[in-house]
Amino acid sequence: IVYDSTEQISASIEEVFKTIGEAVAIVIVVILLFLGSFRSVLMPIVTIPLSLIGVCFLLFSLGYSINLLSLLAMVLAIGLVVDDAIVVVENIHRHMEEEGLSPMQAAFNGMREISSAVVAMTITLAAVFAPLAFTGGLTGALFREFAVTLAGSVVLSGVVALTITPMMSARI
């Protein structure tokens, strides 16, 4: 073997995982600064691994592999996947603070108020990335997994924001 690129690829993948960790840490700090409670940090942070693991299952079910481009899409998706959960948590938090509601009632009222906005936001974000998956030629071949990763993670985060996040907000 004249040239073995496995060491460079392994180093690149390791760097991407390090970047994912750094992105998660930054998201934690930003949410903590703006929402001001560890309770509010927990729900969006749970969204990250659920969405990223879910998108890995989606990629495997579609016959795609985890490569540098799909890992890069996962890094970019971190900011997008917490967005839905932050909107939900902030609205539930607002109902608890301003109206003095119990967590259960605040979650119910907050979701009734914001669920259509979360669905619209999720569909809009997925619609931005989805056309790239259907592009033909070399561009389509290069960016198909990238687009599927981003659109899939956004859709999964919307599902998590509409189901798991309000449940956690009501119980924690």
Q: What token pair was written down for 19?
A: 């970047």
88-102: pLDDT as tens digits:
998 998 898 899 889
Share of the chain above pLDDT 90, in %: 37
Distance CA 85, CA 83 (A): 5
What is the pTM (predicted TM-score) of this model?
0.85
Residue 153: what pLDDT?
A: 94
Average pLDDT, the chain: 87
91-132: pLDDT as tens digits:
998 898 899 889 899 999 999 999 999 999 999 999 998 888
**The CATH number of domain 6-171 is 2.60.40.10:** no
137-156: pLDDT as tens digits:
888 888 889 999 999 999 99
Residue 1: what pLDDT?
A: 62
Distance CA 42, CA 33 (A): 13
Residue 69 has pLDDT above 80, yes or no: yes
Q: What token pair was written down for 61?
A: 């079910």
Residue 143: what pLDDT?
A: 87
Per the document, the length of the chain is 172
Residue matched to tokens 């690829």: 9
CB atoms within 10 A of CB 54: 18
Q: Following CA atoms 98, 100, 101, 106 in sequence, which dihedral angle do they give, to the nearest 10 degrees?
A: 20
Share of the chain above pLDDT 70, in %: 98
Residue 49 has pLDDT above 80, yes or no: yes
CA distances 8 to 11, 69, 127, Å, are 5, 15, 34
Secondary structure class of 63 (helix, strand, coil): coil
Q: What sign does the CA torsion over 35, 39, 45, 46 have?
A: negative
